[in-house]
Amino acid sequence: MKNRTLALILALAMMAGMLAGCGNSSNDATGGGDSIIVGISDDATAMDPLSINDTNTMSILSNIYEPLVRVNNKNEIIPGLAEKWSVSDDGLEYTFTIRKGVKFHNGEDVTLEDVKWSIEAQVASSYTGPYISCVDHVEIVDDSNIKIVLSYPYAPFLTLCGTYTYVMKESFYGEGGNMAQQPIGCGPYEFVSWAANDKIVLKAYPDYFGGAAKITNLTFKIISNQTSAAISLEAGDIDMYLNVAETDVATLKSNSNIVVDEKPSSAFYYLGLNTEDEILSNEKVRQAIAKAIDRDSMVVGVLDGYAQATRSFIPEGLPGYKADFDPLPYHVDDAKALLAEAGYPNGLDLVITVPESRSAHAQMVQADLKKIGINLTINMRETGAFWDDLENGEYQIMMMGWSYVVMDNDVGYYSLYQSKEVVSGNYPRLNDARVDELLQKGRESSDPAERDAIYGEMEEIVMTSGAYIPLYWRYSIIAYNSKIQNVTNSPCGFYFVYDYSWAA
């Protein structure tokens, strides 16, 4: 018996030794040097720019592929594959001068034919096409210039070029190519490997035209559980996490080796009221609902305060922004009066349709509306079914989020307000001739003062109609090792690792 006990103790000691031994190899993140591990909560959908359009994937691909121009952290347009560009006076023709001698990661030359083909392919793609449908055709002018001709003047076009003009080669899509899994671009990082739902490994492309990236090895590590990711960041398994949960902010902030950066993102959340619904077609009812919503309580109650309540879809800094904009201020008694005026002095029954993830929001709305006598039933739907309901107009009130892919009013909400096509965003079925007119003017104008007036007027009309009830701007919260330099919290969710470096 004694021998056995001894053996057991020895075995345990060995196991402990093994655990300790593993410890040495556990920290993959270097905490400096030439590697960085960036944690993200969702995997990329594909590596091919022609078959993706989600922000997360586009952000990853921005490190592999090179667009004609890039948009920097200050929302300025800077050269990409094009070293310079000019715009015709009528705003219809954009001429780009393409850098010479640029090569793809596999050593092949980037030609003007490649540029032309790539842009045409992105216009034709069902994924990216909707964002750059303004492009009419692409011409090769001479041996270094390429001209993109638009079918109508479109102010945000250059900004959009930062995302939808990645340059590839047609032959990469031919036989033997597998762009969805093994991409080839000419951006600062080249592809190494992708283990689905685990990690994406890239390495600096030594011949990048702007000089090789300061950080050589770039790994995106997929950690869907946000708290696990926060622990991994603290433990040094990863160097950065882009999707920090509100509940983890306080813990991470107390760690002096970690920087937490939180600020309003470009994603806004709102209630949409179906204007074709029998009850909600009455503007007064919609306005009463809008005046009954207590956004500040929602931000505190549902999001721990990590959101910015808003009365408008125009963020600070964009044309049309007014700091004190509030056409339908929160006022319970006024809301009740409006409801009575609309013919419902004794209240009424309504239904809110939300996807599962927004049940807490729906409960807040339910409580708010209870105060003005509206008995709100919550109809929770699976995401796909939720969208079906919106498209078919089978809802009364819904809650959803929308975001600016690039910081421009037109890109932000043209498809929400236009009355031509319901299914690409205008689920409340807002139909206002003046709004349509202003939308058209706004996208064609490149004069800031004029756009300011246009979008200011439009926002007034839309937000008074009560078809859209803005709730808040979601925060983008990122956290990273304090030794990483030049990181900016990107409101649109684009992280260009080429800019980063480790402090000495």
Partner 1 sequence: MHKFILKRILMMIPVLLGISVIIYTIISLTPGNPGRLILGERASAEAVEAMNESLGYYDPLPVKYFNYMKNLLRGDLGTSWRSGVSVIESIGERFPTTLLLATMDIVLTAVMSIPLGVLVAVKKESLLDNIMTVVALVFTAMPSFWLGMLMMLVFALSLNLLPATGSESFAHFILPALTMSLLSVAQIMRMTRSSMLEVIRQDYIRTARAKGVSEQKIIWRHAVRNALLPVITTMGNNFGWTLGGSVITETVFGMSGIGTLLLTAVRSKDVPLVMGCVLFMSFTFSVVTLLVDISYGIIDPRIKAEYGGRKG
Closest CA to 315 of 411, 393, 391: 411
Question: Residue 193 interacts with partner 1 (CB under 8 A)?
Answer: no
String of b and e for 313-352 (b: at least 16 CB within 10 Å)? bbbeebbbbeeebebbebeeebbbbbbbebebeeebebeb
Of 100-108, 184-192, 269-277, 380-388, which segment contacts partner 1 by CB under 8 A? 380-388
**Long-range contact list for 416-420, CB < 8 A, 24+ apart?**
416/313, 416/468, 417/458, 417/462
State phi, psi for 484 to the nearest 5 degrees.
-80, 135
Residues 51-70 that bind partner 1 (CB under 8 A): 51, 53-54
At 74 the three-state DSSP class reads: coil
Question: Residue 437 interacts with partner 1 (CB under 8 A)?
Answer: no
Question: Of 173, 321, 325, 387, which lies in the binding site for partner 1, with binding defined by CB under 8 A?
Answer: 387
CB of residue 254 vs partner 1: minimum separation in angstroms?
13
Cβ proximity to partner 1: between 10 and 19 the closer is 19
Residues 333-372 that bind partner 1 (CB under 8 A): none
Dist CA 268 CA 18 (whole Å)? 50
Sheet holding 135-140, edge to edge: 82-87, 93-98, 145-150, 135-140
Question: Residue 237 interacts with partner 1 (CB under 8 A)?
Answer: yes
CB of residue 309 vs partner 1: minimum separation in angstroms?
23
Question: Of 32, 34, 46, 431, which lies in the binding site for partner 1, with binding defined by CB under 8 A?
Answer: 46
Question: Residue 195 interacts with partner 1 (CB under 8 A)?
Answer: yes
Q: From residue 13 to residue 42, what is the string marking binding to partner 1 with x (rule CB under 8 A)?
A: ------xx-xx-xxxx--------------
Contact 483, 451 (CB under 8 A): no
Question: Of 140, 231, 300, 407, which lies in the binding site for partner 1, with binding defined by CB under 8 A?
Answer: 231
Cβ proximity to partner 1: between 141 and 195 the closer is 195
Q: Give burial (CB, 10 Å; 0-12/13-18/19+) of 382.
A: exposed
Half-sphere exposure of 300 (CA within 13 A, CB side): 3
SS (HEC) of 394-411: CCCEEEEEEECCCCCHHH
Cβ proximity to partner 1: between 127 and 154 the closer is 127
Q: CA 384 → CA 197, 224, 317, distances in Å?
A: 22, 21, 34
Cβ proximity to partner 1: between 292 and 422 the closer is 422
Q: Which amino acid is at 61?
A: L
Question: Residue 224 interacts with partner 1 (CB under 8 A)?
Answer: yes
Cβ proximity to partner 1: between 296 and 391 the closer is 391
Q: From residue 388 to residue 417, what is the string marking binding to partner 1 with x (rule CB under 8 A)?
A: x--x----------x------------x--
According to DSSP, the β-strands at 35-40 and 240-241 are parallel
Q: CA 172 → CA 92, 177, 179, distances in Å?
A: 31, 5, 7
Q: From residue 478 to residue 497, what is the string marking binding to partner 1 with x (rule CB under 8 A)?
A: --------------------
Question: Of 72, 88, 228, 485, which lies in the binding site for partner 1, with binding defined by CB under 8 A?
Answer: 228
Q: Which amino acid is at 34?
A: D
| Number of Cβ within a 10 Å radius of residue 367 | 14
CB of residue 106 vs partner 1: minimum separation in angstroms?
22
Cβ proximity to partner 1: between 181 and 281 the closer is 181
Residues 135-164 that bind partner 1 (CB under 8 A): none
Q: What single-letter DSSP state applies at residue 202?
A: E
Rounded to 5°, angle at Cα 33 from 28 and 39? 45
Of 71-79, 104-112, 121-129, 466-474, which segment contacts partner 1 by CB under 8 A? 121-129
CB of residue 385 vs partner 1: minimum separation in angstroms?
4
Cβ proximity to partner 1: between 97 and 415 the closer is 415
CB of residue 387 vs partner 1: minimum separation in angstroms?
5
Residue ranges that bind partner 1, judged by CB under 8 A: 1, 19-20, 22-23, 25-28, 43, 45-46, 51, 53-54, 126-127, 129-131, 180-181, 195-199, 221-225, 227-229, 231-232, 234-238, 381-385, 387-388, 391, 402, 415, 421, 423-425
